[in-house]
């Protein structure tokens, strides 16, 4: 049976949308998980924030698809480009694995294609069940590759459990960041202390080397002055010996 024709949705950046499969189930982040790598799947529409998406323009007809609740992007696992590469969420970055092309069909629906792989957002095994995972696959014009993008016009339902989980994760992230900052600060102080100690040691060695020639210079003249003194002392002794030598006696002839 042919799909019911619907009006083409005009996408604007300041609004949120659901992305629905042919069976009416919507694309969501599983279990409102805010972690990188969280699974993206189909589920009954509960008007929840983790089932709603914004389209961040990255070029003509090219978008980053951002989850309203987790604030992370629809992404290709490990930047894969082969059939069967799973789709998950990841923090926003300039990676081409997060770029998607919205290609309108003639019945108001769209194909959502990976700008990197050129393949369609697709339902694994053509499943119609809640929890069906998403992947990319070669364009075969299948029903499981067509999507309806609809603007969210109702206020999303709140979930105390989901909000608590998000707050807990945010606190854990902050705590981890604080620990990392403390480690960096402690390391910097330790490096500074080592550098100062090394500088002081080097300065002492330099000062000791500079003082050594002066000490040697002071000792050298002392030796030079001592040597002439000994020589001078021996000279008078020679004179004294000469003075003690008896004079020759005169012999008188008879």
Provide the residue ranges of all domains of the chain, joining segments of one domain with +.
Answer: 17-157, 159-210
| CA proximity to 153, closest of 47, 20, 32, 62 | 47
In this prediction, residue 185 carries a pLDDT of 81
Q: Do the Cβ atoms of 47 and 68 come closer than 8 Å?
A: no
Bridge pairing between strands 148-151 and 134-137: unpaired
pLDDT at 5: 66
Tell the residue number behind the tokens 């914004």, with chain if given.
Answer: 54
Query: Which residues are registered as beta bridge partners of 13?
Result: none
CATH architecture of 17-157: Trefoil (2.80)
**pTM of structure:** 0.66
pLDDT digit of tens for each residue in the chain (254 aa)?
555 666 778 899 899 999 999 999 999 999 999 999 999 999 999 999 999 999 999 998 899 999 999 999 999 999 999 999 999 999 999 899 999 999 999 999 999 999 999 999 999 999 999 999 999 999 999 999 999 999 999 998 877 767 777 777 777 767 777 777 777 788 888 888 888 888 888 888 888 787 766 655 555 555 545 545 444 444 444 444 444 555 555 554 44
């Amino acid at each position: 049976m042919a799909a019911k024709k619907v009006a083409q949705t005009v996408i604007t950046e300041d609004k949120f949308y659901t992305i629905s499969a042919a069976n009416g189930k919507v694309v969501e982040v599983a279990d409102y998980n805010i972690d990188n790598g969280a699974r993206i799947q189909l589920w009954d529409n509960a008007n929840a924030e983790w089932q709603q998406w914004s389209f961040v323009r990255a070029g003509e007809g090219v978008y980053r698809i951002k989850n309203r609740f987790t604030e992370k992007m629809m992404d290709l696992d490990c930047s894969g480009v082969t059939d069967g590469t799973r789709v998950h969420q990841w923090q926003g970055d300039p990676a081409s694995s997060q770029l998607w092309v919205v290609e309108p069909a003639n019945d108001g629906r769209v194909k959502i294609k990976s700008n990197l792989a050129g393949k369609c957002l697709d339902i694994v095994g053509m499943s119609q069940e809640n929890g069906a995972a998403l992947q990319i696959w070669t364009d075969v014009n299948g029903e499981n590759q067509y999507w309806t993008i609809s603007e969210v016009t109702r206020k999303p339902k709140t979930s105390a459990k989901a909000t608590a989980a998000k707050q807990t994760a945010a606190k854990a992230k902050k705590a981890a960041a604080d620990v990392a900052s403390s480690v960096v600060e402690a390391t910097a102080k330790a490096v500074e202390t080592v550098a100062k100690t090394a500088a002081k040691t080097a300065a002492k060695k330099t000062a000791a080397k500079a003082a050594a020639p002066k000490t040697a210079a002071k000792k050298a003249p002392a030796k030079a002055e001592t040597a002439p003194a000994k020589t001078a002392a021996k000279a008078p002794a020679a004179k004294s010996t000469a003075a003690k030598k008896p004079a020759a006696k005169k012999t008188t002839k008879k």
